[in-house]
């Protein structure tokens, strides 16, 4: 029996540890591990290779994915999906582990319904925006890279009494920006999921600056397209020398953190155990309340990911500094 693994869509730290653990676990079951190179495009073009442990030694600490990734328009056409199936059939592969996002999982769900190739999807995206899971592979590394960047920016900001606007990735999700704002103590956080009021912030920030605060940090999610607006606000309304730092693709790279490596092993172990069961068809492994579960593609497709109110509440507590009642208690 043969099982393959591929990475699809955007890369994220933790994919390489997952590939390493995949080969180890599959061999421990005395099965044949295959790597599919370059995602769905590689599946169509038959870039599929049987491997052993020597092919994945020394990759556990590497960011990105050694087998490459892609986004494939061709896979939307039946004739190319049929080519992909024929490639797998010749090698005796009828099971695939897919590291990617919901788009990749939906593509594999179509593939299963047409050709019966079982799959387990492992959520791997730094956006952390897949419904049903509290954690996606790679987000912890991305957050630590952002944290390190903001800490460095704070050093130079305080030296020159400047404001900095830091733009994070995340497409339509503000998860990276929100968690980074909370853990860096940013004065401003702008994300799609949460309204913001610059007028109320204006009074608060001016008070802090007049009290001796030497820097201001604003974290903005790229999906809001508000980076320029926040820059103008800090420069023109707060009257601070202001700089913009767009972190960009640096957030995708870097050595996977301990947590991402550990979860890569956890996801892989449970995914292989599940895909070997007869009733498995096409599912996604998720992490909820510190435990592993499996949900269907229909569950993901019929729900929209939402940042928890509890997480938003951790940032909104900052607004209490404007409350007269709390200020009076403090005085």
CATH of the domain at 220: 3.40.50.460
- Please report whether residue 105 resides in a domain: yes
CB 99 within 8 A of CB 15: yes
In angstroms, the CA 111 to CA 89 distance is 13
Closest to 271 (Cα-Cα) out of 138, 122, 131, 134: 122
- Could you tell me if 242 and 174 lie in one domain? yes
Round to whole Å and give the CA distance between 240 and 216: 9
127 a catalytic residue:
yes
Shared-domain flag, residues 62 and 134: yes
Q: Mapping DSSP to helix (H, G, I), strand (E, B) and coil, where does residue 203 land?
A: helix
Q: Are residues 243 and 273 in the same domain?
A: no
Q: What string of pLDDT tens digits covers the 331 residues of the chain?
A: 899 999 999 999 999 999 999 999 999 999 999 999 999 999 999 999 999 999 999 999 999 999 999 999 999 999 999 999 999 999 999 999 999 999 999 999 999 999 999 999 999 999 999 999 999 999 999 999 999 999 999 999 999 999 999 999 988 899 999 999 999 999 999 999 999 899 989 999 999 999 999 999 999 999 999 999 999 999 999 999 999 999 999 999 999 999 999 999 999 999 999 999 999 989 999 999 999 999 999 999 889 999 999 999 998 764 444 444 434 343 3
- Do 226 and 123 belong to one domain? no
Per-residue pLDDT, 318: 47
Query: Do 200 and 53 belong together in one domain?
Result: no
> What is the longest distance spanned by two Cα atoms in the chain?
76
Same domain, 66 and 146: no
pTM > 0.75: yes or no: yes
State whether 165 and 270 are in the same domain: no
Token representation of residue 318: 């900052």
Query: How far apart are the two ends of the chain, measured CA to CA in Å?
Result: 71
What's the confidence (pLDDT) of residue 316? Answer: 76
Catalytic residue among 11, 94, 109, 127: 127
Judgement on whether residues 7 and 44 belong to the same structural domain of the protein: yes
Domain of residue 248: give its range. Answer: 142-252
List, in sequence order, every residue forming a beta bridge with 1; answer none if it has no partner: none
* Cα distance between residue 303 and residue 54, in whole Å: 41
């Amino acid at each position: 029996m043969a099982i393959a693994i591929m990475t699809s869509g955007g890369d994220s730290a933790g994919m390489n540890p997952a590939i390493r653990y995949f080969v180890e676990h599959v061999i421990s079951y005395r099965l044949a591990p295959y790597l599919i190179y370059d995602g769905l495009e590689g599946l169509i073009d038959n870039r599929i290779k049987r491997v052993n442990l020597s092919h994945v030694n020394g990759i556990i600490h590497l960011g990105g994915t050694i087998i490459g990734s892609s986004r494939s328009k061709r896979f939307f056409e039946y004739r190319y999906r049929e080519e992909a199936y024929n490639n797998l059939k010749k090698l005796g592969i009828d099971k695939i582990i897919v590291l990617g996002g919901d788009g990749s999982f939906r593509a594999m769900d179509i593939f299963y319904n047409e050709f019966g190739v079982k799959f387990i999807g492992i959520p791997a995206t730094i956006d952390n925006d897949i419904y049903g899971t509290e954690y996606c592979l790679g987000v912890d590394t991305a957050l630590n890279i952002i944290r390190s960047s903001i800490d460095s920016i704070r050093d130079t900001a305080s030296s020159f009494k400047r404001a900095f606007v830091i733009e994070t990735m995340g497409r339509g999700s503000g998860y990276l920006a929100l968690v980074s704002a909370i853990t860096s103590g940013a004065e401003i956080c702008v994300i799609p999921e949460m309204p913001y009021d610059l007028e109320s912030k204006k009074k608060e920030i001016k008070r802090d600056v007049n009290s001796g605060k030497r820097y201001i940090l604003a974290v903005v999610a790229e999906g809001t397209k508000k980076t320029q607006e926040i820059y103008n606000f800090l420069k023109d309304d707060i009257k601070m020398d202001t700089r913009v730092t767009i972190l960009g693709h640096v957030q995708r790279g870097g050595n996977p953190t301990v947590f991402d490596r550990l979860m890569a092993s956890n996801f892989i172990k449970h995914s292989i155990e599940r895909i070997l069961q007869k009733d498995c068809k096409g599912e996604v492994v998720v992490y909820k309340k510190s435990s592993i579960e499996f949900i269907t593609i229909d569950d993901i497709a019929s729900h929209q990911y939402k940042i928890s109110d509890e997480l938003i509440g951790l940032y909104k507590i900052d607004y209490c500094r404007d409350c007269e009642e709390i200020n009076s208690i403090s005085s």
